[in-house]
């Protein structure tokens, strides 16, 4: 089963990354080799270009699905999780009304001599 999947992936990659020029050349070569008419050659070219584009899209979808599953397996946060956390932080910060200076780690602007005066 794994070998069959590998063969399909290899073939898909081959189709997906063929440039339009390579597909056109392959169609011309096949047309000459099989003595196809111009109409048959054009039809073949159209079919090859369509198949190449379909394969490219399918491959992209399959890779995205595989990456998604892999990220879920390792329990990695995804963009939506991070966005929710950022929204929660903003909400908590606004609730506590923490001044920007206090969050940045800068010293309190209150002079230290006020503390000494209370002694």
Q: What is the pLDDT of residue 87?
A: 94
Q: What is the pLDDT of residue 49?
A: 86
Q: What is the pLDDT of residue 86?
A: 95
Q: What is the pLDDT of residue 95?
A: 81
Q: Where are the domains of the chain?
A: 1-76, 77-107
Q: What is the pLDDT of residue 71?
A: 84
Average pLDDT by stretches of 10, the chain with 119 residues: 63 70 83 88 88 86 89 86 93 76 54 51
pTM, whole model, 2 decimals?
A: 0.48
Rounded to 5 degrees, what are φ and ψ at 90? -60, -45
Q: What is the pLDDT of residue 6?
A: 66
Q: What is the pLDDT of residue 82?
A: 93
Distance separating alpha carbons of residues 33 and 31, to the nearest angstrom? 6
Distance separating alpha carbons of residues 32 and 97, to the nearest angstrom? 77
Run of H or E residues at 24:
helix 20-33
């Amino acid at each position: 089963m794994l070998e069959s999947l590998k063969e399909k992936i290899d073939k898909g990659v081959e189709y997906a990354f063929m440039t339009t020029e390579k597909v056109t050349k392959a169609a011309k070569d096949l047309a000459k080799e099989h003595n196809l008419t111009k109409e048959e050659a054009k039809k073949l070219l159209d079919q090859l270009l369509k198949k190449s584009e379909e394969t490219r899209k399918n491959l992209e979808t399959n890779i995205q699905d595989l990456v998604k599953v892999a990220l879920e397996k390792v329990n990695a946060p995804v963009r939506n999780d991070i966005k929710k956390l950022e929204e929660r932080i903003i909400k908590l910060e606004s609730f506590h009304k923490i001044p920007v200076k206090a969050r940045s780690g800068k010293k309190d602007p209150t002079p230290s001599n006020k503390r000494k005066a209370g002694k």
